[in-house]
Amino acid sequence: METLDCAVIGAGVVGLAIARKLAMSGRDVVILEAEDAFGTHTSARNSEVIHAGIYYASGSMKAKLCVPGRQALYQYCAEHNVHHQRIGKVIVACDETELTGLKKYKAQAEANGVDDLRMLTSVELKEMEPAVRCVAGFLSPSTGIIDSHGLMLSYLGEAEDRGAMLALSSPVLGGRVESDGIVLEVGGKEPMTVKCRSVVISAGLKAPDVARSIAGIPAATIPPTYYAIGHYYTLTTKSPFNRLIYPVARPDWLGVHVTIDLGGRVKFGPDFEWIDRIDYQFDQRREVSFYKAIRHYFPALQDGTLQPGYTGIRPRITGPGEPVQDFTFHGEKEHGVKGLMTLYGIESPGLTSSLAIADYVADNL
C-alpha cells in the first residue's frame, strides 16, 4: 500500500487553498478529486462575489473567517494577478417595512469588524444607482467580484510549485481509520489504496457522505446532508447598475440580488429551494418569480430580457425550518481521529474566506 503524508479530498476553491497552504508549510500533499477537472461544482456555480462580511452572526466562524479572508484575498489577487474588481455594493430597503432589516446591518457589520458601511442619502442613491427603486441604502465599498476559476488556477499552480499533486478522476470511495494513519480507497481508472498521515475532507456537497464512508469516524459526529438550489438569470441588455445591488436579506439567504461579472454582464440570483439530490438542471418555471422579485427594486425590467443562466447548490447541514448552519470544522477534538480535519457546510462566503479557511485548517490539523 502506498503511503502519503497528506491527502486533501476535493479540488474546489477551498480544497485547493488548503492544499496550497499545506504544501507551502512543507507537507507532501496529494489532492484527490472525483471529477476529471478541478472546481466543477460549487466553486464554479456561485456569485463570484468577494463578500465584506456584513451579515454573519457575531462570533460565528463565517464572521471570523470572512473579514480576514476578504482582506487576504484582495492582497492575494493583487500580488498574483487574479482578475478581480472592488466594485462595491449597495444594500437597499425598497419600502418602509424593510428599514428595520437594513438598520440591523450596520451594527452587525461593525460587530464583525466591517467598519466601512456608509448610509447613503436618497440624493446619493439616485445619483449612484438611478435604476434602483428604494427608500434607503448602505454602500459597502469593500465588496468586490472575482474570477473564481483564475483564483483556483493560481492556488493550484502555487501548490504544485511546492510539490503538491492533483489526482483527477480519483474519487475517494471509502476507507478506515487505523492506529498509524487513515487508509483511503480511491476509485477511478487506476484504483489504489493509500495510507495517509493526515486527511482533509473538503468535498463540498459530498463531505458528509465521504466522512460516512470512512470506518472509524464516529457516525454521531457526521452531520446530515441537505441541498438548497439557487438559480441565476442573466440580463440580455446592458447593465443599468454601477455596483452590486442587494435587497434586504431573507432569513434563509440573501435574496435575489444583482451581481455584475468581470465582463460587465448582469446576473440576478440565486433564488432558494430545498432539493433532495444533486441535480443542477435549470427550472425555467422560475422566470415569473424572478421578474417579480427583481421589479421590487428594478421596476424598469422589461419583459423578455431575462435569460436562464446557471444553478448552484448550497451544501447545507441544517434543514428546512432550522437555523442556518455555520461553517463547521471537525478535528481530533470533535471526532477523536488524529490527523483528520473534516469541513462541512462550506457555503457562502466560502470563496471569500478560502485563504482564511486554509490557515485555520493548517493550524488545527
Ligand X SMILES: Cc1cc2nc3c(=O)[nH]c(=O)nc-3n(C[C@H](O)[C@H](O)[C@H](O)COP(=O)(O)OP(=O)(O)OC[C@H]3O[C@@H](n4cnc5c(N)ncnc54)[C@H](O)[C@@H]3O)c2cc1C
Which residues bind to ligand X, rule: CB under 6 A? 9-15, 32-35, 39-43, 46-49, 51, 171-172, 202-206, 210, 230, 270, 312-314, 346-352
Peptide bond before residue 270 is cis, with ω within 30 degrees of 0: yes
Count the neighbouring beta carbons within 10 Å of the beta carbon of residue 333: 7
Nearest approach in angstroms of CB 97 to ligand X is: 26
Nearest approach in angstroms of CB 300 to ligand X is: 25
Nearest approach in angstroms of CB 322 to ligand X is: 18
Residue closer to ligand X, measured from CB, 103 or 309 = 309
Cβ atoms 298, 214 nearer than 8 A = no
Q: In sequence order, which residues have a C-beta less than 8 Å from that of residue 150 and are 6 or more positions away? A: 82, 83
- Would you say how long the chain is, in residues? 365
Nearest approach in angstroms of CB 325 to ligand X is: 12
Alpha helices in 190-349 (DSSP H): 207-212, 287-297, 332-335
Residue closer to ligand X, measured from CB, 34 or 125 = 34
Residue closer to ligand X, measured from CB, 103 or 149 = 149
**Closest by CA position to 140, among listed 115, 122, 163:** 115
Please identify the residue of the shown chain whose CB is closest to the bound ligand X: 350
Partner residues linked to 45 by β-bridges: none
Cβ atoms 216, 223 nearer than 8 A = no
Partner residues linked to 271 by β-bridges: none
Count the neighbouring beta carbons within 10 Å of the beta carbon of residue 209: 13
Nearest approach in angstroms of CB 127 to ligand X is: 26
Nearest approach in angstroms of CB 298 to ligand X is: 19
User: What are the grid coordinates assigned to 225, written together?
Assistant: 446532508
Q: How far apart are CA 325 and CA 225, in angstroms?
A: 12
- Sign of torsion over alpha carbons 44, 186, 318, 103: negative
Residue closer to ligand X, measured from CB, 136 or 222 = 222
Helix (H, G, I), strand (E, B) or coil at 211: helix
Residue closer to ligand X, measured from CB, 41 or 286 = 41
Residue closer to ligand X, measured from CB, 286 or 314 = 314
Q: Cα 343 vs. chain centroid, distance in angstroms?
A: 12
What DSSP designation does 57 have? P
**Closest by CA position to 107, among listed 159, 55, 166:** 55
Nearest approach in angstroms of CB 220 to ligand X is: 21
Residue closer to ligand X, measured from CB, 137 or 350 = 350
Nearest approach in angstroms of CB 96 to ligand X is: 29
Nearest approach in angstroms of CB 267 to ligand X is: 10
Residue closer to ligand X, measured from CB, 43 or 297 = 43
Helix (H, G, I), strand (E, B) or coil at 25: coil
Residue closer to ligand X, measured from CB, 39 or 137 = 39
